[in-house]
Structure 1
């Protein structure tokens, strides 16, 4: 396993990030525990979750599954850089979501209880709160840090100017502010290259891409559909119908390079400046093994250039719109 620092911090994290969104809804608790054990065996130390995962309001199902795994001992918590998130509504009562000082305090304590730990390594804002001032957010986070309940703060789904706002407000308070940003980023969806990724790099935030296979479209979807392994429905079916030639070129390139399509997509992200590591949410052990294998793939300039030809990005970012 390769490791890197999370943004400008001294925190070492694995370049494969274990996402846990499927734990509970798609993957049984026993299988989830086995996947986490195997992740440690493979050197993965960076686990990501959120209080809303499990999709049963107020219950925090996925955090509970992780908490019971930590309770099994064996140094599991000590070996894990634990990231969770808040923002989504956890109740139907006022102040049950978003980033007010009140909800930050309540949501944090509730996550700590479910996760059976005394601190969160990376506490992330799942979405920007357009109604709460940064002075309030940072004051609440400063208290959490002083109490030892949180070590670092991160963001998710922020625009570049949101990152700038947050960091300038933190700077005025002599506070560390954000150290990471989670955004959708993959070969198909490259919008963060315009301003979010440049802003993150300028402020020393590590980029943690989510949906690195864009819902499986970069995982060999054409071949799987043709072989009857995957049934195409809804948006996936519409995208394949419209972009089939592009996806076929991509899958052919993966064959030419000797990599599985999904592993190639992950490897490409790992070669992008500013990227800490992509989040993969495995439902099975096989999917975890594939994600970890991507860390060892090295792509030369020619391979990256051929990928850019198939999926053009934003080469003139962050002034892409102006040229």
Structure 2
């Protein structure tokens, strides 16, 4: 396993992040525990979850599944860099969502109880809250740090200027601030390159891409369809994406075949090659899927392959692979 520091912090994390969104929804608790055991065997120490995963009717709480796995002992908790999130509604009350000090306090206590741990390593804001002032948010987070309940803080789904706002507000309080941003980023969704990635690099945040295979569309969907296998990228919203970009997807899968690699592994390897990316979130539904994902760490895409990928999935803006404002101005 490869490790890197998370942003400008001293925290060492694996370059693949275990996403747990399927635990309790697509994957049984027993299989979820097997996947987490296998992740540790492979050296994956960075687990990402959220307080709202597995909370719809008929599902099992993902945090509770992880908590029961921790309770089995064997240094599971000590070997894990645990990340969870706050923002989305946890109830019907007016203070059971967003980033007020009240909701943050209640949400972190509830997560700690479900996770059966005394602290969270990385507490992430699941979205920007435009109605709560940064002074309130950072004060609430400072209290959590002082209490030893949270060690580091991160953001998710922030715009570049939100990152700047957050960091400048933290700086005024002499607080470390954010160390990571979790953003939607993959070959087919490269908007983060305009302002989010430059802001993250400037402020020392590690970028954690979610949706690295764009809902399965970059995971060899056409090949799987031809082989008669169920393909996640061929249904729901992904089906519309596939229909719109079918020619590019065909060329992408051919490129992967030409270099002897699985399309899913190429998509992950491309993210690992991007400046500022800590590691993509992989969301395996089975232990075999987890095992296969490790191949991405061994792939080194050469210049001609990277250039061809840029041709198939161009960066945003009319002026090529440039950050804002050069991407669309001069």
Q: Same fold (TM over 0.5)?
A: yes
Q: 2:257 aligns with which of 229, 232, 255?
A: 255
* Superimposed CA distance per residue, residues 292-320 of structure 1 (whole angstroms, 9 cap, x where no aligned partner): 22112111212211111111114111322
Report runs of 4+ in structure 1 exceeding 6 Å deviation.
Answer: none
Partner of 1:132: 132
Shift of 1:149: 0.4
Q: 2:118 & 2:235 partners in 1: Cα distance?
A: 43
Q: 2:235 & 2:290 partners in 1: Cα distance?
A: 25
Partner of 1:227: 227
Give structure 1 stretches of 5+ with no counterpart.
none
Partner of 1:322: 329
Shift of 1:89: 0.5
Partner of 2:304: 302
Shift of 1:60: 7.4
* Superimposed CA distance per residue, residues 140-161 of structure 1 (whole angstroms, 9 cap, x where no aligned partner): 0000000000000000000000
Confirm or deny that 1:313 pairs with 2:320. Answer: no
Greater CA drift, 211-220 or 235-244: 235-244
Q: 2:148 & 2:17 partners in 1: Cα distance?
A: 24
Structure 1 counterpart SS, 2:84: strand
Greater CA drift, 293-302 or 90-99: 293-302
Superposed counterparts of 1:164-179, under 5 Å: 164-179=164-179
Shift of 1:238: 2.2
Q: 1:283 aligns with which of 245, 270, 285?
A: 285
- C-alpha spacing 1:234/1:82, structure 2 compared with 1 (3 Å): closer
Shift of 1:164: 0.4
Partner of 2:154: 154
Partner of 1:11: 11
Give structure 2 stretches of 5+ with no counterpart.
none
The count of residues paired between Structure 1 and Structure 2 equals 322
Q: 2:69 & 2:188 partners in 1: Cα distance?
A: 35
Structure 1 counterpart SS, 2:152: strand
Q: 2:314 & 2:240 partners in 1: Cα distance?
A: 20
Q: 1:293 & 1:46 partners in 2: Cα distance?
A: 17
- C-alpha spacing 1:294/1:209, structure 2 compared with 1 (3 Å): same
The answer as to whether partners of 1:60 and 1:114 remain within 8 angstroms in 2 is no
Superposed counterparts of 1:196-275, under 5 Å: 196-230=196-230, 232-275=234-277
Partner of 1:101: 101
Structure 2 counterpart SS, 1:118: coil
Partner of 1:30: 30
Shift of 1:258: 1.2
Q: TM-score under structure 1 normalisation? A: 0.97
Q: 2:294 & 2:103 partners in 1: Cα distance?
A: 35
The answer as to whether partners of 1:51 and 1:60 remain within 8 angstroms in 2 is no
Q: TM-score under structure 2 normalisation? A: 0.95
- C-alpha spacing 1:66/1:234, structure 2 compared with 1 (3 Å): closer
